Amino acid sequence: MKKNTTDLKKCLMYFSRQSREERAYHKYTNDKLMLEKLSINRLKFQLITLKTKYEYKRNVCAIFLGTILLTILTGTWGTVFDLTRKIIEYAVGKANVDPLLVKGWTLIILIFFITATFLIFITALSFMRTLYQLHEEILMVEDVLKAKKEDRK
């Protein structure tokens, strides 16, 4: 029983702010030690590579979020959903289809739109997280490069 409570406490502490900050600090120190072992030229190359990746991801993210914002402002999702609903209603009127079938198709389309919206949201969050990590790496490399240049003087 005692072991179960300590395991539960470890699991709960894993998600605490203090534990997250401690893990982030250990990652920072390990990454910084690895960067300090590199030569200045290698650090410059690393910095250029990271900045290039960051700029590319930022541009892609801006286009992606701009497109999403444009579809929200123009009401494209609602228009597509209304068009789909009208197509189903037209098909029902011409083919004498059971209204229950229409409700089923409407539900399927609604689930599709909710899933698409969720996937778009997850993709946007993924872009933002990647940009955050790249920016963090850039700052770390710049810090190590600056320290190495100062030590050289």
Q: CA geometry: angle at 55 spanning 125 and 142, to 5°?
A: 105
Contact 22, 117 (CB under 8 A): no
pTM of the complete model:
0.73
Q: What is the mean pLDDT of residues 105-134?
A: 90
Size of the chain in residues: 153
Does 11 reside within a domain?
no
pLDDT at site 83: 79
Token pair of 145 as six digits: 């490069």
Does 13 reside within a domain?
no
Does 18 reside within a domain?
no
Q: What is the mean pLDDT of residues 62-87?
A: 83
pLDDT tens figures, 4-42: 677 777 777 777 788 888 888 899 999 999 999 999 999
pLDDT above 70 covers a percentage of the chain that reads 92
Structurally, the chain folds into a number of domains equal to 1
- Phi/psi class of residue 96: alpha, beta or left (left: φ > 0; alpha: ψ in -120 to 50)? left
**Dihedral pair phi/psi, residue 147, rounded to 5°:** -65, -40
